[in-house]
Structure 1
């Protein structure tokens, strides 16, 4: 009988240990602390997410901790540049509950080196905005056109700009979100070469032809 009882407890303990608790909080600074909450079915890991938005010389920074599904865990960042020095980037890191306070404590630097490509650029929380043009930087080689709608705020978000191919793929397949939204439309296309570069090339060709005529 004792052997049967021990075997029963051994099979029961993994089930009891499967109930995961994670620290849950939301803050507009890196100091995000809160109480622990029991995770729901399908949420098998703790996570900490960071969102940073730079617009009009103002930087908004938020940190969120809570339960998450490990299926969506990734070390990659969502990055969209929609103006000169204006961008949105977001990332999440899955972690065990005892390590979440230390994990993901800093942001990787933003690569501001222009790569010779350009995209239409726009960011609006109310109505479609006339797109400007932004120079893509770093590994941004795709143009993003994103429209979202949220029921709880009854607002649409219009976002156009440069981004990476992986960010486009993650947004299109629903794995990643820039904002929590009820409806969204995501279009991506390869970014075009900078018109400035094209202009320089045409100028060089014209100068070469002129040189030949003068000869």
Structure 2
């Protein structure tokens, strides 16, 4: 019998929803607290669903997209009745700049319209992420470069349980401005 997990999303940790059947690759239930910042405004989002146990116990994941905002995601894994009450704390980001920068230029050689993204705190790697974002019935391709806290392996990006930003890792950026890998 396949694993089933509650699925919900909301502005508080009190969200509840229907049970969903997990895929074979999704071997645990997850609850996530997301802190999304854009132009000085912060929104917290809580969600539950199926996920990969490879994400368990990794600490907060930080995605800094510079002018497009920052998302901090804390993931807790659970099974059974514990999932009803298990929520990670609302994540916080260390905003002290660390001197590392990630290029925000498009990969196709188009003119660079954005300054490099300045990394902060534990953000030690640059990644290029591409995929599709879906809001309601509207789907849009995305391509972003981000500063990332390197606690999960690059291959886990494809397993990311966040349903509203299904993305995959295109490549690790080999050279970071002002920093040797």
- Is the TM-score greater than 0.5? yes
1:106 is aligned to: 89
* Equivalent residue in structure 1 for 2:6, among 11, 23, 32: 23
Report the structure, 1 or 2, having the larger helix content.
Answer: 1
Q: Give 1:155 deviation, angstroms.
A: 0.3
2:144 alignment partner in structure 1: 159
Runs of 4+ in 1 over 6 A off after TM superposition: none
Of 166, 170, 173, the match for 1:185? 170
> Is the 2:15–2:46 Cα contact (8 Å) retained in structure 1?
yes
- Aligned to 1:192, the other structure's residue is in SS state coil
Q: Displacement of 1:57 after TM fit?
A: 1.8
Q: What CA distance in whole angstroms lies between the structure 1 residues aligned with 2:35 and 2:156? A: 17
Q: What stretches of structure 2 of length at least 5 have no aligned partner?
A: 106-110
- Structure 2 length-normalised TM: 0.70
Structure possessing the higher relative contact order (Cα contacts under 8 Å, 6 or more residues apart): 2
What CA distance in whole angstroms lies between the structure 2 residues aligned with 1:183 and 1:142? 16
Query: Between Structure 1 and Structure 2, whose CA radius of gyration is higher?
Result: 1
Name the residue aligned to 2:56: 74
Q: Which runs of 5+ in 1 are unaligned?
A: 1-17, 123-127, 195-215
Q: Give the RMSD, CA atoms, in angstroms.
A: 3.4
In the alignment, the residues of structure 2 paired with residue 87 and residue 140 of structure 1 have an alpha-carbon distance, to the nearest angstrom, of: 11
Q: Is the 8 A contact 2:101 2:117 kept in 1?
A: yes
Q: Deviations over 1:99-157 (max 9, x none)?
A: 223323313431122212122348xxxxx982222321122222222222357633022
1:137 corresponds in structure 2 to 120
Q: Quick one: distance in 2 between partners of 1:137 and 1:85?
A: 15
Deviations 1:45-74 (A, max 9, x none): 32212332211122232222133443x342
* Cα pair distance change 1:135/1:49, threshold 3 Å: same
What are the residue-to-residue correspondences of 1:2-151 with 2, within 5 Å? 20-35=3-18, 37=19, 39-40=21-22, 42=24, 43-70=26-53, 72-76=54-58, 77-83=60-66, 86-121=69-104, 130-150=113-133
